[in-house]
Chain A
């Protein structure tokens, strides 16, 4: 029986699909190693039909899986993922290093009611923030200016400074804010 070239094309298509899907799964779970345990709990078997469909339509499946992470256009009704951070790109002011940020974040109190650590009582949050940073990520300082209260009603407090102003640092990866840390707010 003559070997049809279509079978070899199909075989290469499926192999490429399997490699592509495996690479996507590894990429998406690299920041959450605890997720790997779920694969040992029979997750692969339970999702076998879905995986077969994904294997046959793998170009579309890989694109859909990575679209959100890489902010590529998605088919459908133009739904955009909810922005989870207060800091937006327009708020970024200056790129800094960890050492520069920690030097600027030193807090001094003559009564010694603050830890001698970068960002004082916020040091724990700072460490949790820097733990999310990869070696290739950028660290940016940001300022969210807040809004001046223009309510002139006689019963409204007469605030003189903008409300809701915040300062902090953001981890930026592929031009997108991935984590934020506030060290000063109203």
Chain B
């Protein structure tokens, strides 16, 4: 079990971590021209998407994967969405996008549930942004040990 590499969301000029996978169901149900192979332990889903909110709409801009050296390598976007090199409108997604911000307060080594100082939730309805809210997360003093914070710092370095 390993913490997963987050997606990226470009929102109001800032690149945020995105701990939601808007593309996952489409990959399961839609026969895209190119398949995405599962990745390593940090990227089970095999891809990392870069999304952006332009105007009030959510777009998928880029797809990347990780090589053996954990470096991001761009996947040919046109092979997945022919004719749309500048991105695709994510009209299939309705729900919330979760973007953790700030320092990691509690690291969880599985999936996306690590706790950060803040969570930005962006509400989306059929690809159109309808609202946003910010949640301040509580600090758990039981995990404020020196050893634990060193582990968190080590994990951060691995992700970079």
Contacts and interface: CB of A to CB of B under 8 A. Distances in A.
Interface string B76-109: 0000010110111101111110100000001010
B121 A159 contact: yes
B140 to A, nearest CB: 6
Q: Which of A109, A121, A160, A161 has the most CB of B within 10 A?
A: A121
A175 B31 CA distance: 28
Contacts of B133: 160
B94 A186 contact: yes
Interface string B53-89: 0110101000000000000000000000101101111
Contact of A154 (B29, B84, B140): B140
B113 A109 contact: no
A166 B126 CA distance: 11
Nearest to B119: A157
Given A121-B26, A157-B98, A111 B119 contact: no
Contacts of B96: 159-161, 186
B135 A158 contact: yes
A182 interface: yes
B91 A109 contact: yes
Main SS at interface, chain A: loop
Given A155-B140, A157-B113, A159-B96, A121 B88 contact: yes
A36 interface: no
A165 B19 CA distance: 18
Nearest to A107: B91
A20 interface: no
Interface stretch (A25-33, A55-63, A71-79, A122-130): A122-130
A128 B108 CA distance: 40
Interface of B: 19, 25-26, 29-31, 54-55, 57, 59, 81, 83-84, 86-89, 91-96, 98, 106, 108, 113, 115, 119, 121, 123, 126, 133, 135, 137-138, 140
Given A111-B89, A185-B93, 4 more contacts: A114-B88, A114-B89, A155-B106, A167-B94
